[in-house]
Each structure stands twice: as C-alpha cells, then as structure tokens.
Structure 1
C-alpha cells in the first residue's frame, strides 16, 4: 500500500484538507443524486493512503465531479471496464451504487477549481504592482491595474469550490491589492478616491477574517483623514490601530499605531501627548532578535520610522530634528524605492527652507524633483516642493540661485 501522491498533490493545490475534500465530495453528490452523500474523512484517508486504489460508484462520481477529471488522472487504477473513448455520451451512464440505487453520474464539469497555483499567480501580479508603486508612486496606471486585479480575483471566487483556506487567502490578497490602489490615490493626493477603494477593501478584509489585513485598511483610512486635514479622525483611527489584535500580537504593529497617533496629535496642537505616543512607538519598535517582519508591515523599517518621526517633529516646529531624521532615512532607504527617496528628499528641502537655509533648500528640492520618473504620479512630492517654494518666497530673498529655483519650480508644481 503506497500513498497516492497525485491525489495528495491535487488536494494541496486546491487547499483541501481531508475533511474539506469529504465535504466537497458530499456537495457534489447532492448535485448528482439530489441528496447529501455519506463520504467521510476516513473514506478520503483511504483514498490518500492508497488503501483504496480503484474508487467505484458514488465515490468515483464525486471525485470526478470535484476535480473535473477522470479518477485515472488522480493517480487511481483505471476502471476495469470503461466506456468507449469515441463515444462521450457514455460518460453520462448510470452508476449503480451498492444499494442498487441508480446514480445519475453526469460527465464531470471541466471548470477550473481555484487552488494554490491560482493564488500564487495573482500574488505575483500583486508583487509586480508593488514594485511599480515603489518606483512611480501615485500613477493612475498603478491604481487602474490594482482595480482590475481585484476584480479578477473576486471573479475567480464566484464559481465556488475553493477550500476555506484558499478563499481566505484570496480575499486577503484582494484587500491588499485594493489597499495598494488606495495608496496610489493617497500619493496622488486624491483622498476621496482613496476612500472609495478602502470601503471595498474593508469588506474584503472582513471576508478574509484576518487581523493584519484589517489593520492595513485602518492605516490607510487614517492617512486619508490626515490628508483631508481631519486630524481628530486620524487620531481616532490610529487609536483603533494600536488597540487592534494585530498590535497586541506584534509590537511592530503597535509601534506604527503609536507613531500615526503621535503625528495626528502633533497637528491637533497636543505636543505632550504627541511626544508620549512617539516615545511608546520607539519602545515598541525594536524587533525581536532574529525575527524579520513579513508581509505588508515590512515597509516599516528603521528608515521609515525616522521618516515618520520627521513628520511629527515638523508638526511640532522642531525643524532641525526633522532634518536629522530625514538624513538618517535617506542614508538607509533602498535605492530602488525611488518614490520614497524623492518624497523624503522633498521633505528635507522643506525642513532646510524653514531653518533659513535657502540656497541649500533649493539645491535639495531640485534633486528631489529630478529623482521623479517621467511617469510618476507622486503628487505628495510635488505638493511638498510647492510648500518649500512658498517658504522661500516668504523670505523675500533676492539670491540669484533662489530666484532661479523659484521660477523653475513653478513649472513642476
């Protein structure tokens, strides 16, 4: 007796446990004979471990209906008698069960069942979109592709038949993809458009029943609130983040929640509470020894921590501290993260301008703009450079380099 490796692999691809396959077979029999089947986990165990080498009757019909192929393609011995290959009508013969009941065993549907290879294929598309986003920022093309990918993932789920594990994995991916589209809208300074995406992502995250996926939606909702200058709502959203089950399980999620709240409180004119939240973010940030963050939260590196800290110091009017944080960020951020490098360089230019370092701010601002790729949609970067120009103009400087930069930057913004 040897394990049926083919069946075992097919089950793995579709994400079926033995109990789930038994359930799917019983559902198939309900469609075939009009009442639930009696396939048990033990039946499936015998199929997998090789105790049953040639399934017959209802078991054969259910297997073929679930997997959409003959049992011979599932690693079983072929039937002792087979219908003539040239006459497909014989695939619709009546199988006689042990009870003598006629079973209408229609030819198995040839639809494709959703399995791990499908999930992996969709995830590869998502990974490619993430790469585009890190380079281009809020490009409408990235946003459009995210919407399209989400629609295709959801469409693939409508046929049913996927295991619970695969379903949850796909809903989680659909939510993540939708959040990516929302973040592209945020980077394009289109918070209302981002909100529409996040309403959809919220539903998908709920269907996934995954705390970390739901946390990401709340994080992006908080960013849209901040972008609309509704800092009270942003602070409330950050409170949800730091009290979430994801934050209770992983200090890194708690740290980001505290940091988002510190930023909102600083903009609400509550410096003491803001600094306390940032201190708690620092305390929770230290990763466990030897543990690398996985999934979406991996973006929250030390470089990102310093960048977000700079936003808090800026809101508190501590521009020298903000500049120091940004220098550390730019020294550590990966070169391929072009959008973020450009954005944080623009913020560095703004911090320098607010300290009266006009010529240095102009030079840094020009470098930030030149980093942007031609197809970039990072309106946040452009808006930051526009604020830098306003600060420099307010100084009344007549320095030739500053005057030249002011005129040049008008064409960018």
Structure 2
C-alpha cells in the first residue's frame, strides 16, 4: 500500500493541512448537498496513506473542486470509463453551485487567445459593477459561479498557451472571489468559504500571489462573520506577513487593518491600536500603479470605514462616527451598496452614543439606500434597533422607527 505522494504534493503546494483540506471538502459538499458533511482528517489520512485508492463519488467531487483538477491528476486510480464521469461530476458541482445547468462544450481544436481573455474580462467587470450596486444577491453570486464554470469549460475544450491558461485561471479566481464577496454580503459565510477554497486553488494555478491574498482577505471576513475572531486574527497575520505585503504597502496596510479589527474584537486594545497605526503608516506609502483592479476598493473612504470598525470594537463610538462621516463625504457615487452599509454603521454609532432621534433619521436613510441583497446592511440596522430599544426612550419618532425596523429581521 503506497502513500499518495501526488496528493501530498498538491496539498503542500496550496499549504493545506489534513484538517484544512477536510474543512474545504466539507464546505464544497455542504454547498452541493445542502446539509453538513462528515469528511474528517482521518478521511484525508486514508487518502494520503493509500488505503483509499479510489475515493467514492462525493469524496471525489469534493477533491476535484478543491484542487481544480480530475482525481486522476491527484494520484487516484480510476476505471476505464471514469474519465467522462469525472467531467460530469465537475460540471454537476459547478451547475449546482451556480443554480442552473452548465452546458458542456464538446472538445475541439479551437485555440484560446487574448480575445477570449478580453471577452471574459468584460463580463467580469460588468458583474463587479452589478455587485457594487446590487449587493450580495444570489443573482450576482450565481452569475459569477456560472462565468467561472464557462472559463473552466473553455480550458477543458480548447488548446491554449501557458500564458493564456494562467490568465484564464487568474480570471476564474477573480470571478470566484466575486461570488464569495456576494455571499459575504448576504451573510452566508459557509457558502463564501466554499467559493474561496476554489479561488485559492485557481490563484495557485495562475501563479498569482495577489489573487491568493484576495482570497485570504475574504476568508478573514468569513471568520469574522462567524464570530471566530481568533481565526480572523490568524488569517490577517498571514496577510500582513506575506511576501506581497512586504513588497507593496497597499497590501501591507490592508493586512494590518484586518489584524487591528480582529485584535480589537479579541479585547487586545494595545495591540489593535498598534496594528491600526501600522495600517495608517503603510497606507501613506501606497499607490502602486501596477496594483490589480480588485484592491482599488481600498481607497481613503474604505480606509476610514474599516478604521471605524476598529474604533467601534474598542468602544470609541465618537471616533467611529467621525471616520464614517469622512467615508461618506468622499465615497464614489457608484458605490451604492457601500453607501447603504456605511450609513447603517453611522446610525449604529449614533445610537451607541445615545443620539436616538439622530440615529433613527440616519437609519431611515440607510434603509432607503440599501440594495435588497445586502444582508450585512440589514443586520447592522437590526443592531441599531436593539441599541435604541435598550435606551428606553419614549420619543414618538423613535418608537415608530423601532416598530418599523422589527420587520427587517
């Protein structure tokens, strides 16, 4: 019984432990099957040791989704007829994740080129614009997954150079991160983590450290949504220590900012303030003209908004409010979802300072601005309602807003 060295090497390339691989496989299967799965570290040990040479259908699907390649490329044996089955399983996973069937493209001799990259990139940019306006709707998430599936199909059905393949993998990674971002905005962290497992794989295939950094950034956000702030702090530490963060101050600043937020929520005030100062220092050196488009979200308005989250976690609500006013004053007009979200956080900061009437007026404005897909905005307004309820004010306008907001749970 020989050990599966190929699987071990693939895991090492992505930096996966046995526990992490099991977690990613479970996330994939939960998305596919709609219920919690039971892949364990022991399952992975059996795959590595060689005692499992031919994983069953669901295990094979999860492995292929995590690593982005057929199980036969991971060192597993297959029957003579399994090659077609592997394609069907991969397409089935992508179809279920996207919410609709993905048509298979018959193999041919067409060669992928720059025009294909440009075409898919235009679709990616259009979806990015939709996400900025619509928020985390399942429509945006599903379209992103379907686009990633079509990119995969193109790679499966046509010839291409190494450069073009890397660019296609890079696009697929960005599109999959966009799907994860929509899931995060919809407060669906488990769904987002399944997308991000795929995104990390694709970033590895593209040999692109910026895409991997983006996936780590989103993974840190899913940890925060699950209130696992120790995990979020660990993820942020990976970000700020990455080689990319050492080279580019934009990435260093974002890593320190995420770390400051997680540390604040763990009650480590001194360390959090130090991280926030490092984020500010690095941001002052940022502005690399070669930075990819996705990190352009981290402009001054976003920096101040993320700073407000740190101050909120530290109980400094007046400082948080000041940051949010600065954010809203310079936020780009097209950032509809962000304007609704940050206005909601502004209402929460005002409520926590006892400014009940002002918080209500701000909350009404936030609710009018918020796109229906942004569950994060709705959840923030729910917290505003809870704070105002606890204040016990009997002002008619406050009581009226509290009753109205009860329908937003």
TM-score > 0.5, shorter chain as reference: yes
Q: Which runs of 5+ in 1 are unaligned?
A: 1-108
Residue 259 of structure 2 aligns with which residue?
A: 261
Residue 396 of structure 1 aligns with which residue?
A: 392
- Report the CA distance between 1:117 and its aligned residue: 0.3
Classify 1:151/1:110 alpha carbon distance in 2 versus 1 (closer, same or farther; 3 Å): closer
- Report the CA distance between 1:229 and its aligned residue: 0.5
1:347-362 aligned within 5 A:
347-362=345-360
Classify 1:289/1:191 alpha carbon distance in 2 versus 1 (closer, same or farther; 3 Å): closer
1:160-239 aligned within 5 A:
160-239=158-237
- TM-score in terms of structure 1 length: 0.72
Question: The residue matched to 1:145 in structure 2 has which SS?
Answer: helix
- Report the CA distance between 1:372 and its aligned residue: 2.1
Question: The residue matched to 2:157 in structure 1 has which SS?
Answer: coil
- Report the CA distance between 1:243 and its aligned residue: 1.1
Separation in structure 2 between the aligned mates of residue 330 and residue 292 of structure 1, nearest angstrom: 27
**Which entry has the higher C-alpha Rg, 1 or 2?**
1
Residue 321 of structure 2 aligns with which residue?
A: 323
Question: The residue matched to 1:158 in structure 2 has which SS?
Answer: helix
Residue 140 of structure 1 pairs with residue 138 of structure 2: yes
Separation in structure 2 between the aligned mates of residue 115 and residue 246 of structure 1, nearest angstrom: 28
- Report the CA distance between 1:326 and its aligned residue: 0.1
Separation in structure 1 between the aligned mates of residue 178 and residue 197 of structure 2, nearest angstrom: 13
- Report the CA distance between 1:291 and its aligned residue: 4.3
Separation in structure 1 between the aligned mates of residue 188 and residue 407 of structure 2, nearest angstrom: 21
- Report the CA distance between 1:370 and its aligned residue: 0.3
Q: 1:111 aligns with which of 103, 109, 113?
A: 109
Which of structure 1's runs of 4+ aligned residues deviate more than 3 A? 287-294
- Report the CA distance between 1:295 and its aligned residue: 1.6
Residue 276 of structure 1 aligns with which residue?
A: 274
Separation in structure 1 between the aligned mates of residue 264 and residue 286 of structure 2, nearest angstrom: 29
Residue 403 of structure 2 aligns with which residue?
A: 407
Classify 1:290/1:316 alpha carbon distance in 2 versus 1 (closer, same or farther; 3 Å): closer
CA RMSD of aligned residues (A): 1.4
- Report the CA distance between 1:313 and its aligned residue: 0.1
Separation in structure 1 between the aligned mates of residue 131 and residue 162 of structure 2, nearest angstrom: 30
Residue 36 of structure 1 aligns with which residue?
A: none
- Report the CA distance between 1:163 and its aligned residue: 1.1
Residue 386 of structure 1 aligns with which residue?
A: 382
- Report the CA distance between 1:411 and its aligned residue: 2.2
Separation in structure 2 between the aligned mates of residue 110 and residue 245 of structure 1, nearest angstrom: 40
Separation in structure 2 between the aligned mates of residue 263 and residue 197 of structure 1, nearest angstrom: 23
- Report the CA distance between 1:280 and its aligned residue: 0.3
Separation in structure 1 between the aligned mates of residue 290 and residue 151 of structure 2, nearest angstrom: 29
Separation in structure 1 between the aligned mates of residue 381 and residue 153 of structure 2, nearest angstrom: 42
Residue 76 of structure 2 aligns with which residue?
A: none
Separation in structure 1 between the aligned mates of residue 338 and residue 288 of structure 2, nearest angstrom: 26
Deviations 1:190-243 (A, max 9, x none): 001111111111111110111101000100010000110000100000011011
- Report the CA distance between 1:165 and its aligned residue: 1.0
Deviations 1:144-183 (A, max 9, x none): 0011000000111113521111111110110110010001
Q: 1:340 aligns with which of 316, 338, 353?
A: 338
Separation in structure 2 between the aligned mates of residue 397 and residue 293 of structure 1, nearest angstrom: 49
8 Å contact 2:250–2:286 — kept in the other structure? no
- TM-score in terms of structure 2 length: 0.72
Classify 1:226/1:199 alpha carbon distance in 2 versus 1 (closer, same or farther; 3 Å): same
